[in-house]
Structure 1
Amino acid sequence: MSRTELAGESFLHWDTPASARWSQPTKGQVGLVYMFNLIVGTGALTMPKAFASAGWLVSLFLLVFLGFMSFVTTTFVVEAMAAANAQLRWKRMENHQEDDDSSSAASDSDSRVQDSYERAEQRPILSVQRRGSPNLFEITDRVEMGQMASMFFSKVGVNLFYFCIIIYLYGDLAIYAAAVPFSLMQVSCATGNDSCGVEADTKHNDTDLCWGPLRRGDVYRVYLAVFTLLLGPFTFFDVQKTKYLQILTSLMRWVAFAIMIVLALVRIGRGRGEGHPPLADLSGVRNLFGVCVYSFMCQHSLPSLLTPVSSKRHLTRLVLLDYVLILAFYGLLSFTAIFSFRGDSLLDMYTLNFASCDIVSVAAVRFFLGLFPVFTISTNFPIIAVTLRNNWKTLFHREGGTYPWVVDRVVFPTITLVPPVLVAFCTHDLESLVGITGAYAGTGIQYVIPAFLVYLCRKDTQLALGPRAANKHRSPFHHTFWVGFVLLWAFSCFFFVTANIILSETKI
């Protein structure tokens, strides 16, 4: 199996709805729902605290702007998908033509066969299209980002692509490995000390007692060890047939989000809202930026998500509508949170703010919201771990080579599992983990990779298919200015976040 074939299968996003990964077509409206479910995930739960830290006006502006930038790069990826489909389709047509030429001229000399091949290579693509062939740029083949990178990037670019993907997946695993034990620790310690749950305005330290002589930090690490022992072994095997788990977690996600929004609105409507967020606080922009980038992440899963859509005539409009709805949802969730709770009382995982009797009187609802991240993240952790393991294999894959059993079944799973668990062992600061993952690896995946993909695919398409080849899925932001603007914005954010971290560490 070639590196390109491996690349095409090695990076399937773990939150992509199972139905979107099947071969049967889906309607545009259904694809819109799939995309909505894909983008709105765990990152949304850390957004309220980030909003409160940065101020509501700055947060609103940055949320809208980053949503717009994510939409721009999404259209870049769609254009690159269409260009990749065109090139694959043209190569198949060329191979078919070569087979016809070879069978009709079997008695010719080797020189004449070579001349025929060279003429086929030089035949303009537009003449083939005029003979009634289907539109070359129709998105019918699922070409994953790894395969597109192999088609349009150099060898160094492909390696950098996989490096960025791997760092992002490590960040995701660290977030997941910390979120589950942290939620379990918060719920169980609250239950152990007070049957009514933890108060929303109570701040705890890891040194506070939880169960008898056990401190909260100790309980967190016990849960982390149990989590690793239960879910870690899945990294050594393949995880398949997750359709029903994905459906279940999607239902739980929307029930939980709806409950939190309604409870916050009721709390504000009754005059019990305690939040008075500032207009702006630049010290919180770093984490807010990372959280927003992380919360708009979908570019790496677009091939699996959009390829099955049967009618792609208005694909760009559907994607735009999706982003408008997602912006409205994020704004509703975050603004109800920051005006319902004081900024210093908002927890890293927003669901834990509803673990108090004075907010939620029904015990079942309190436990459901408190344990919601446990159920959803636990089902996704093995999938992302296997995805990361497969990307490691693809990165070091050599043409025609195979790995020894120990390397394949022990080394790759171990280097996949151990680093994120160690990070989670050292910290459970979810806001910082999400912020750093989004600000660095997220910037690469959401901005840098799509910008280079669309720029290089345009050049490659002109060389291979001619300057008149019209991509029907061309991005509305087709001017080269937008590619440069996205790259400039990405590198500016990278340097801003790095400088902010250095200044923060210096002050400490």
Structure 2
Amino acid sequence: FQAAFTLLLGPFTFFNVQKTKYLQIMTSLMRWIAFILMIILALIRISRGQAEGHPSMAQLSGIRNLFGVCVYSFMCQHSLPSLVTPISKKKHVNKLVLLDYILILAFYSLLSFTAIYCFRNDTLMDMYTLNFTNCEIINVAFIRYFLGLFPVFTISTNFPIIAVTLRNNWKTLFHREGGTYPWVVDRIVFPAITLVPPVLVAFCTHDLESLVGITGAYAGNGIQYLIPAFLAYCSRKDTQLVFGSGTVNKHLSPFRHTFWIVFVLIWGFSCFVFVTANIVLSESKL
């Protein structure tokens, strides 16, 4: 399956993906359909008294897992550019962003709580959609196959877009002013360094939970906390130099104080420590 995935979707890395709007629309529709189906099926099972989940009380030992979840919560920020960009008047943008976060939190909470009350802890799979491939949960074959293959569908539609974006980022990173890349570097090297690492990791890794934990602890931590914090700090300093300290911005963020940047950096370091400890302790128990 991995070889077929690589052979079918890998070549897109070497070309430009045009008209991604339709791919994104299809991915969004499939994601919403899958999430709503899982919530409805879990609620039906709970309402019929067939629920098997008995979640335990919160434990301090679970804090290290909580930090890992917080790292991955940044995924909800992907929806912000599509919300903010079309707004011509930014007067109510803070309220819109707050409403967006509240809706995302409510949706994720509904999905999570229906899961832990519907299924036993030891039966919950790393890929939650696989819990619905059992005939006892739903006897409609189409829905079972749709939910079981849902991760494949979303990855297949997102992979070309993400790969091309990463390839272009490589080009920008090594760009020289006034210079151009040789054909081999532009058409072969950059696509290759984009495609080969994820393919090798996919072939060598079998533990999805471990892979998610490591990528979330390090890559996700840097993307969500460290880079935005330093970017905000440097951009504010640059803005003061260009416009002066007396300029009043009516769209100032309520988190404009330097304390929040320091807090984010401390939080990011804490996530790094706790998730690393969780990985080490989990491996030592094996």
Calculate the TM-score normalised by the size of structure 1.
0.54
* Residue 248 (structure 2) aligned to one of 449, 455, 470: 470
* Aligned residue in 2 for 1:307: 85
* Aligned residue in 2 for 1:490: 268
SS of corresponding position for 1:455: helix
Kept in 2, the 8 Å contact 1:292–1:438? The answer is no
* Residue 425 (structure 1) aligned to one of 203, 206, 211: 203
* Aligned residue in 2 for 1:335: 113
Instruction: Tell me, in whole angstroms, the C-alpha distance in 1 between the residues paired with 2:110 and 2:78.
Output: 26
Instruction: Tell me, in whole angstroms, the C-alpha distance in 2 between the residues paired with 1:395 and 1:268.
Output: 51
* Aligned residue in 1 for 2:141: 363
Give 1:6-85 correspondences, 5 Å limit: none
SS of corresponding position for 2:272: helix
Is residue 261 of structure 1 aligned with residue 39 of structure 2?
Answer: yes
* Aligned residue in 2 for 1:354: 132
SS of corresponding position for 2:122: helix
1:445-487 CA distance string (max 9 Å, x none): 2111222222222222222211111122211112221111111
* Aligned residue in 1 for 2:185: 407
Kept in 1, the 8 Å contact 2:67–2:274? The answer is no
* Residue 448 (structure 1) aligned to one of 226, 230, 244: 226
* Aligned residue in 1 for 2:6: 228
**Structure 1 pair 225/364, CA: closer, same or farther in 2 (3 Å)?**
same
> How much does 1:383 deviate?
0.7
Instruction: Work out which of the two has the higher radius of gyration on C-alpha atoms and give 1 or 2.
Output: 1
**Structure 1 pair 507/348, CA: closer, same or farther in 2 (3 Å)?**
closer
Kept in 1, the 8 Å contact 2:129–2:147? The answer is yes
> How much does 1:282 deviate?
5.3
Kept in 2, the 8 Å contact 1:289–1:435? The answer is no
Instruction: Tell me, in whole angstroms, the C-alpha distance in 1 between the residues paired with 2:147 and 2:278.
Output: 33
Q: Which amino acid aligns with 2:176?
A: R
Identity %: 78
Kept in 2, the 8 Å contact 1:234–1:382? The answer is yes
**Structure 1 pair 465/403, CA: closer, same or farther in 2 (3 Å)?**
same
Runs of 4+ in structure 1 off by over 4 angstroms are 281-288, 298-305
Q: Which segment is superposed worse, 293-302 or 312-321?
A: 293-302
Structure 2, gaps ≥5 residues long: none
> How much does 1:503 deviate?
3.5
Give 1:59-138 correspondences, 5 Å limit: none
Instruction: Tell me, in whole angstroms, the C-alpha distance in 2 between the residues paired with 1:327 and 1:312.
Output: 23
* Aligned residue in 1 for 2:29: 251
Kept in 2, the 8 Å contact 1:354–1:370? The answer is yes
Q: Which segment is superposed worse, 313-322 or 477-486?
A: 477-486
Instruction: Tell me, in whole angstroms, the C-alpha distance in 2 between the residues paired with 1:408 and 1:368.
Output: 38
Task: Flag the structure with more relative contact order, 1 or 2, with Cα contacts below 8 A and sequence separation at least 6.
Answer: 1
Q: Which amino acid aligns with 1:356?
A: N
Is residue 416 of structure 1 aligned with residue 197 of structure 2?
Answer: no
Calculate the TM-score normalised by the size of structure 2.
0.93
* Aligned residue in 1 for 2:99: 321
Kept in 2, the 8 Å contact 1:256–1:372? The answer is yes
Structure 1, gaps ≥5 residues long: 1-222
* Aligned residue in 2 for 1:111: none
Length, aligned pairs only: 286
